[in-house]
Amino acid sequence: MKSITVFRQFGEMLVAIAIAPLFAGWIAQCRAWMQNRSAPPLIQPYRMLRKLFDKDVALAETASPLFRITPYILFGTMVLAAAIIPSLATDLPFARAADAIALIGLFATARVFLSLAAMDIGTAFGTMGARREMMIGFLAEPALLMILFNAFLLFGSTALPSLVDGYRAHPSLMDPSIIFAAVAFVMVLLAENARLPIDNPTTHLELTMIHEAMLLEYSARHLALVEWASNLKLFNYACIGFALFIPWGIATHSADGVVAMLISDAALAIKLIVAGAALALIESLSAKVRIFRAPEYLAMSFLLAVLGLLVHLLLGAKQA
Amino acid sequence: MTLPLIAEHPLRLLLYLITTWLALGLAGLPTPRGGRLVARVLFPLGAMICLAVATIAAIFLLTGHAPQTAILPFGLPDLPFHIRLDALSAFFLLILGLAGAGISIFSAGYFRAGEGTAPGLMGLQYHVFLASMALVLLADDAYLFMVAWETMALSSYFLVTSQHRIPEIRRAGFLYLLMAHVGAICILLSFGVLQGGSWQFTFDAMRHATSTLTPFLATTAFLLALLGFGMKAGLVPLHVWLPEAHPAAPSPVSAMMSGIMLKTAVYGFLRISFDLLHVRFWQWGVLVLAVGLFSAIYGAIFAAVQSDMKRLLAYSSIENIGIIFTGIGLAILFETSNLHLYAALALCAALVHALNHSLFKSLLFLTTGSVLHATGHRNLGKLGGLIRRMPWVATIALVGTLAIAGLPPLNGFVSEWLLLQSFLFTPQIPHAFVNMFVPLGAAVLALTAALAAYVMVKFYGVVFLGQPREASLSEARDPSWLERIGLLWLAIGCIAIGIVPQLAMRPAAGVTGMLLGQTVATSSLWWIAPIAPQQASYSGVILLAGILGTIGITFLLVRLLAHGRLRRVPAWDCGYPHQTARMQDTAEGFGQPIRHMFGAFFRIERDLPTPDDIAPRYRMRLEDRIWRTLYLPIARATQKIADMVSILQSGSLSIYLLCSFLTLIVLLVFVL
């Protein structure tokens, strides 16, 4: 293994860790603009993290070691996921460790740990948040799997690097099924990352909370890690979306040279800026749905993904 | 020296070991109440024998030994017992040995005098149960198979009804026995069809006879086998005995039944459908796939609304058996479509899941045993906060919980990943519509896996996390060291297969090689890439190392760069200071979204208090719809027929003699 690929691998992880809060800050800024509010500065999330790292931890008396270790597990799994997802280059050493299905599993691991930690204190809101989060999780997973099924039918792979390469081999390819899958993916992304219309990340009303309800007992550095992990999760999901649907610009060989590296960095930056603005727009235009409407919302996403699958199979049958 | 010996005579050694089990069981009889001999000597020895069985099976599989046969001079005159060891039986013996070792060593510390059956007698039933399961796996003719199958059913019946003074347990035991026998009749009839007019009941003869069976007869045999083994395995709608029998049985027995006995049904089904019937029609695959998927989702939904921890795990067993049968159905579908490599992948997934399930489900049933002994409660509503009182059990249960929830990098994820991978190839099946609908099965499977995670968060969260819901829980203690060894053994198995899936996939490759003539690639030690590396790969080692590495670095950095100040404060009370532990979310509350979403599956009875009730009581009963729509009508019809026939039961001897005489005449006429 060349040292340059290892270098790129760690570079990719560090980039993810560094700009994930920035991405969240960008979305918040866009949202504020669209809603005619004065926007917080872009670096607000970093200030928040710094403030939290400075504070003293106020740990509930009933907290077990599981509660204290969970922030590290969340952060660790999200960083690992960032290493596996080809956000800048495709042939990195970690890429083979997990295909897209295993990545979903990795996210599920993080979700289960957060839910368990939320139940650890034994307050009503924590457990309620945990059960809602797990509910959203099990509703989103079938849709996510069908989206990957679409990608598999096109390029015969569930490994994200192979998908990126497959796209680059057929740059003109625009299968109708992939459009269905892309819409479905955006819906799942919003639900999985606790954003409108499923969950409101800025809410202060406990009864409607999902993600925030689980974090009620976290404070200071623990909370900072959990928040950072949430930012990373959103960043990771965005990068999975880029790899699945708009992979242009990602370097195929990490040793390609400075130009390819710069192109991939610039491409990622542009995609993130556009995607952030688009997410802010979607969030500004939608209202939060009742928790028991969430199944309908995610069933819609599932249906779109299945439609994509059927469209592909029917078109394929017609051609053959 | 010993290795060549094992490699040369595996079958003979296995027979010795099985005999030793029986001897161990008998040795405890003279002192039924003297627990020390049974606990300190016999059960640990039994566990050693389990290990030996697993070792022999593993060596047999990994050396690619040719099948071994032998004829035992027992049984009826002219009908000696045929036994045979091949890759399929060896794989399931491996399951039996690995899970059995953990359960036996746990049982050594668990069974005590004063709880139902005396330990000595329990030891006998337990070891007869183990031996009969091993014989089921080794049988090579229908006679021995049925004898061993029935011994297995009876010994487990006695184990289930260990506390037979409680009426519910007697009822559950009766239901189990009844279902076991109806299933056995189906299997017997299936063998009757399989001999195909040759009247030879050795499996070897059947293997040749079945090629001349008409499609109708072959399908009949297949359906009877599905019915018979499905009843034992707990496929929906034949599952009703499972959630009754598991809570009734002592925990190690539940672990044995769920972890190992259900797998003998999987074995029997594979033996008949693949080995004897050489899977002939793709429609069989669709049927098995549909039944498997339905069982999986059904089990997961019902597990989510249970309040009794063992019932919850019993429904989860139904779900996992459903996943295994989904894999088998997919394998049949691929095999009959001449996609042999994908068939091998699906079958490999099913086999690995069978092994995984035997490990994590036994583990979880054993932890419920520890919790039950420490607290006396089985109801989730009376537990909570045990992670602080029983850190050992809680930590090991966490491994089992994550494994059964199908999360990487543990073993449950590996088999589900393999199964999802094989689903990806279903659009290649050359039958129109089938290739469009079967991919949706992958979505059902994903839903099941995610629901299983929901169920396990509920199980673990309510039992081990939160605050204790009863004051008595503060006296709960971790179990004895023998029990801890048993739990640890199974937990290590879950982790080992999770990070090095080849440990399970290599032995499974022996089976797929024997049944399908194909194996999936398991060459690399670092990752698994069943079809092609650029298509999909997974590495438990790298994932685990990556997670541990990032966690470690994060921890160190936070320690170095940030201050470590921490103070303990009361949990936030939401501005309401009078909270008690009983106000925590309950198991019922956790299941509420599922009740809401999947209401069509349940029959719900609610007693709601009126607003001006002084002592309001809220009561809800939740039932399986299948019980009312399928089983009660059958029971009523049986009762009616019995009533009609009872006219004959007049009590006078002459009428009985007359009946016998008439029957004889009719039969004579019929024969002549």
Task: Give residue-wise pLDDT tens across range B242-279.
Answer: 998 988 888 999 999 999 999 999 999 999 999 888 88
One-character DSSP codes across A67-80: HHHHHHHHHHHHHH
A141 touches chain B (CB under 8 A): yes
Per-residue pLDDT at B101 exceeds 50: yes
Among residues B396, B399, B363, B394, which one has the least CA distance to residue B495? B399
Highest averaged pLDDT of the listed ranges A162-166, A295-299, B210-214: A295-299
The answer to whether the CB of B297 falls within 8 A of the CB of B352 is no
Other C-beta atoms within 10 Å of B308: how many? Answer: 18
Mean pLDDT of all residues in B348-371: 93
Number of residues in chain A: 320
Please state which of the ranges A217-226, B127-136, B148-157, B603-612 shows the lowest mean pLDDT.
B603-612
**CA–CA dist B576, B219 (Å, integer):** 66
CA B352 from chain centre, in angstroms, equals 13
**What is the average pLDDT across B594-622?**
81
Find the mean pLDDT for residues A131-158. Answer: 86
A229-244 pLDDT tens trace = 999 999 999 999 988 8
| Rounded Cα–Cα distance for residues B136 and B450 (Å) | 34
Is the N-terminal amide bond of B237 cis, ω within 30° of 0? yes
Structural domains counted in chain A:
1
What's the pLDDT tens digit per position in B3-12? Answer: 566 667 888 8
Chain B interface includes A107 (CB < 8 A): no
Asked whether the predicted pLDDT for residue B345 surpasses 70, the reply is yes
Confirm if A150 and A181 have CB atoms less than 8 A apart. Answer: yes
Question: Which tokens in the block code for residue B270?
Answer: 């594979």
Contact flag B413-A102 (C-beta cutoff 8 Å): yes
Query: Which of B439, B453, B527 lies nearest to residue A96, judging by beta carbons?
Result: B527
State the distance between the two ends of chain B, measured CA to CA, in whole angstroms.
64
Contact state of A102 with B408 under an 8 Å Cβ cutoff: yes
CB contact under 8 A, A124 and B574: yes
Count the Cβ atoms, other than its own, within 10 Å of residue B199: 9
d(CA B78, CA B74): 9
| pLDDT score of A93 more than 90 | no
Do the Cβ atoms of A145 and B555 come within 8 Å?
A: no
Please tell me the predicted confidence (pLDDT) of residue B4: 62
Q: Is the predicted pLDDT of residue B436 greater than 60, yes or no?
A: yes
The gap between the terminal CA atoms of chain A, to the nearest Å, is 43
Is-contact B134 B260, C-beta < 8 A? no
Q: What is the largest CA-CA distance in chain A?
A: 66
Query: Taking CB atoms and an 8 Å limit, are A101 and B458 in contact across chains?
Result: no
**Spatial CB neighbours of B618, under 8 Å, sequence gap ≥ 6:** B606, B607, B608, B609
Instruction: Find out whether the peptide bond into B67 is cis, omega within 30 degrees of 0.
Output: no
State which residue of chain B sits closest to A130, comparing Cα positions: B457
pLDDT at residue A99 greater than cutoff 50: yes
pLDDT at residue B585 tops 70: yes
pLDDT given at position A267: 86
Question: Which of A54, A73, A101 should we substitute to test contact with B (largest number of B Cβ atoms within 10 Å)?
Answer: A101
Residues of B in contact with A98 (CB under 8 A): 408, 537-539, 543
Residue A148's closest chain B neighbor by CA? B424
Nearest CA in chain A to B409: A106
Q: Is A247 on the interface with B (CB under 8 A)?
A: no
* Position B197, amino acid: G
* DSSP-derived 3-state class of residue B72: strand
Rounded to the nearest angstrom, the minimum Cα separation between A59 and chain B is 5
Q: Do B543 and A80 touch (CB under 8 A)?
A: yes
If one counts every other C-beta atom within 10 angstroms of the C-beta of residue B620, the result is: 11
The answer to whether the beta carbons of residues A123 and B584 sit under 8 Å apart is yes
Partners of residue B432 in chain A, C-beta under 8 Å = 317
Contact B565 A66 (CB under 8 A): no
Q: What does the pLDDT read at residue B269?
A: 94
- Decide if B417 and A102 are in contact by the 8 Å CB cutoff: yes
Lowest-confidence pick of A282-291, B220-229, B338-347: A282-291
Mean pLDDT for the stretch of residues B308-324: 93
Q: Which residue has the tokens 């290795």?
A: B3
Residues B572, A310: C-beta atoms closer than 8 Å: no
Residue B653 burial (CB < 10 Å; 0-12/13-18/19+)? Answer: exposed
Residues A134 and A115: their CA atoms lie apart, in Å, by 7
Is A162 touching B (CB cutoff 8 A)? yes
Facing B457 at nearest CB: one of A101, A130, A144? A130
**Nearest-angstrom CA–CA distance, B348 and B355:** 11
Q: Are B348 and B505 in contact (CB under 8 A)?
A: yes
d(CA B184, CA B157): 14
Backbone phi and psi for residue A193, each to the nearest 5 degrees, phi listed first: -100, 20
Q: What is the mean pLDDT of chain A?
A: 85
CA distances (Å), origin A38, targets A29, A30, A33, A196, B583: 8, 10, 7, 20, 42
Chain centroid to Cα B280, Å, comes to 27
Question: For tokens 């509703």, what's the residue?
Answer: A139
Distance, in Å, from the CA atom of A236 to the CA atom of A245, rounded to the nearest integer, reads: 14
Number of H helices, E strands in chain B: 27, 5
Helices (H) and strands (E) in chain A, counts: 11, 1
What is the ipTM for the molecules in this complex?
0.92
Answer yes or no: are the C-beta atoms of B185 and B253 closer than 8 Å.
no
CB contact under 8 A, A131 and B585: yes
Q: What are the chain B neighbours of A133 within 8 Å (beta carbons)?
A: none
- Gap from A184 CA to chain B (nearest CA, Å): 14
Residue B650: its pLDDT value, please? 78
| Owner of token pair 């570079």 | A11
Is the peptide bond preceding residue A197 cis, with omega within 30 degrees of 0? yes
Of the partner residues B440, B454, B551, the one whose CB lies closest to the CB of residue A73: B551
Q: Which residue has the higher pLDDT, A96 or B417?
A: B417
DSSP state of B12: H
Query: How far apart are alpha carbons B355 and A278 in whole angstroms?
Result: 47
By the 10 Å C-beta count (0-12 exposed, 13-18 middle, 19+ buried), B19 is classed as exposed
What does the block give as tokens for B165? 């003074």
Residue A4, burial from CB neighbour count under 10 angstroms (0-12, 13-18, 19+): middle
Domain boundaries, chain B: 281-360+375-554, 598-608+617-671
What's the residue count for chain B?
Answer: 672
Checking phi first, is residue B75 left (phi over 0); if not, alpha (psi -120 to 50) or beta?
Answer: left
Tell how strand A57-60 and strand B566-569 pair up: parallel
For residues B468-487, average pLDDT: 85
Q: Is A130 on the interface with B (CB under 8 A)?
A: yes
Please check whether residue A223 touches B, CB under 8 A: no
What is the average pLDDT score of chain B? 88
Q: Tell me the pLDDT tens digit for each residue of B618-670.
A: 777 888 888 888 888 999 999 999 999 888 787 788 888 998 999 999 999 98
A133 vs B: CB within 8 A = no
A135 lies within 8 A of chain B by CB: yes
Check: CB of residue B370 under 8 Å from CB of residue B109. Answer: no
CB contact under 8 Å between A162 and B535, yes or no, is yes
Parallel, antiparallel, or unpaired for β A57-60 and B619-624? unpaired
pLDDT (mean) for B356-372: 93
CA geometry: angle B235, B323, B356, nearest 5 deg: 115
Top residue of B420, B444, B451 to mutate, by most chain A CBs within 10 Å, is: B420
Q: In Å, how far are A292, B119, B179, B247, B254 from B162, measured between CA atoms?
A: 45, 10, 19, 12, 12
Q: Is the pLDDT of residue B33 over 90?
A: no
DSSP state of B586: P
Residue pair A255/A4 in contact by the 8 Å Cβ criterion: yes
Q: How far apart, in whole angstroms, are the C-alpha atoms of residue A171 and residue A159?
A: 18
Percent of chain B at pLDDT above 90? 43
Task: Give the residue among B413, B418, B548 at the shortest CA–CA distance from B494.
Answer: B413
Q: Which domain holds residue A228?
A: 3-319
Q: Which of A286, A212, A226 is nearest to A21 (CA)?
A: A226
Position B1 scores a pLDDT of: 44
User: Does A59 touch chain B if contact means CB atoms closer than 8 Å?
Assistant: yes
Is A130 in contact with B406 (Cβ distance < 8 A)? Answer: no
The predicted-structure confidence for B127-139, as pLDDT tens digits, reads as follows 999 999 999 999 9
Q: Which residues of B touch A124 (CB under 8 A)?
A: 574, 579, 583-585
Confidence of residue A150 (pLDDT cuts 50, 70, 90): confident
Asked whether A82 and A239 are in contact (CB, 8 A), the reply is: yes
Range from B307-321, B605-619, B656-670 carrying the lowest mean pLDDT: B605-619
Among the partner residues B549, B562, B574, nearest to A221 by beta-carbon distance: B562
The strand pairing partners of A251, in sequence order, are: A89
- Greatest mean pLDDT among B43-52, B189-198, B201-210, B511-520 lies in B43-52
- Checking if the pLDDT of A24 tops 80, the result is yes
Instruction: Select from A14, A111, A135 the residue whose CB has the most chain B CBs within 10 Å, as the one to mutate to test that interface.
Output: A135
| Chain A residues whose beta carbon lies within 8 Å of the beta carbon of residue B405 | 108, 112
Let me know: does B97 contact B134? Beta carbons within 8 Å: no
Q: What pLDDT was estimated at residue A320?
A: 46
CB contact under 8 A, A97 and B458: no
Contact B255, B160 (CB under 8 A): no
Nearest residue to B485 via CA among B39, B97, B102: B102
- Shortest Cα distance from A107 to chain B (angstroms)? 9
Residue A153 confidence class, pLDDT cut points 50, 70, 90: confident
Compute the distance between CA of residue B262 and CA of residue B61 in angstroms, rounded to an integer. Answer: 22
- Cβ-nearest to B450 among A122, A141, A292: A141
CB of B163 closer than 8 Å to CB of B115: yes
Nearest by CB: B535 against A120, A153, A157 = A157
The token duo for B470 is 């009863």
- Which of B345, B537, B559 to probe by mutation at the A interface, max A CB count within 10 Å? B537
Predicted confidence band of residue B456 (pLDDT cuts 50, 70, 90): very high
Position B226, amino acid: L
Residues of chain A in contact with residue B590, where contact means CB-CB under 8 angstroms, are 127, 131
Q: Are B460 and B398 in contact (CB under 8 A)?
A: yes
Alpha-carbon distance A308 to A310, whole Å? 6
Q: From CA A94, how far away is CA A90, in angstroms rounded? A: 10
Pairwise CA distance, residues A173 & B251, whole Å: 57
Query: pLDDT > 70: what percent of chain A?
Result: 95
In this structure, what token pair is assigned to residue B590? Answer: 């956790």
State residue B523's pLDDT score.
Answer: 64
Look at residues B307, B293, B156 and name the one whose alpha carbon lies nearest to residue B243: B307
